[in-house]
């Protein structure tokens, strides 16, 4: 869906819950918003979940799970807390897998509005320009597992 109609997960506090199945050492995008000039991506790389907040090419904030996920069905939660209501506020992003905290990413500043005027929100793939340099040469980096649901709540 076009970014301007998608939930504001890069600029508002939010909770994203993904019900998914993965194989051993899976790769691919779970969801992305925006593009190479700015955006957010949650993806798997060699079985680990990786989060990247691309702050308009100025800064990139990344974090990943310590261990690769085992093959099977998992519940992944990404909780973003914008720390102040001011534009360019910092944020904390917490990733849990099956109810256990796996990574915390400190985002130094967030976008005050949209990342782009022409990119989109995607599930299971990163269409358009890739948010992350880490999978730039593999774009659109389709997820190798199965995504049952993605639920986004703005909080």
pLDDT tens string, the chain, 155 residues long: the values are 999 899 999 999 999 999 999 999 999 999 999 999 999 999 999 999 999 999 999 999 999 999 999 999 999 999 999 999 999 999 999 999 999 999 999 999 999 999 999 999 999 999 999 999 999 999 999 999 999 999 999 99
Write down the domain spans for the chain: 3-154
Q: What is the CATH number of domain 3-154?
A: 2.60.120.200
- pLDDT at 43 (0 to 100): 98
What confidence score (pLDDT) does residue 24 get? 95
Nearest to 77 by CA among 27, 152, 11, 133: 152
Beta bridge partners of 151: 17
Integer Cα distance of 114 and 33 in angstroms: 10
């Amino acid at each position: 869906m076009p970014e301007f109609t998608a939930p504001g997960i890069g600029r508002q506090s939010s909770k994203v819950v993904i019900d998914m199945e993965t194989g051993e050492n899976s790769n691919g995008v779970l969801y992305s918003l925006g593009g190479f000039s700015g955006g957010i991506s949650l993806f798997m790389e060699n079985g680990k979940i990786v989060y990247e907040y691309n702050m308009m090419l100025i800064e990139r904030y990344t974090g990943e799970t310590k261990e690769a996920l085992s093959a099977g069905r998992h519940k992944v939660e990404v909780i973003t807390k914008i720390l102040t209501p001011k534009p360019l506020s910092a944020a904390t992003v917490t990733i849990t897998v099956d109810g256990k905290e796996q990574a915390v990413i400190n985002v130094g500043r967030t976008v005050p509005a949209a990342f782009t005027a022409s990119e989109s929100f995607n599930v299971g793939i990163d269409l358009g320009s890739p948010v992350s340099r880490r999978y730039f040469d593999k774009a659109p980096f389709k997820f190798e597992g199965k995504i049952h649901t993605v639920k986004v709540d703005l909080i």
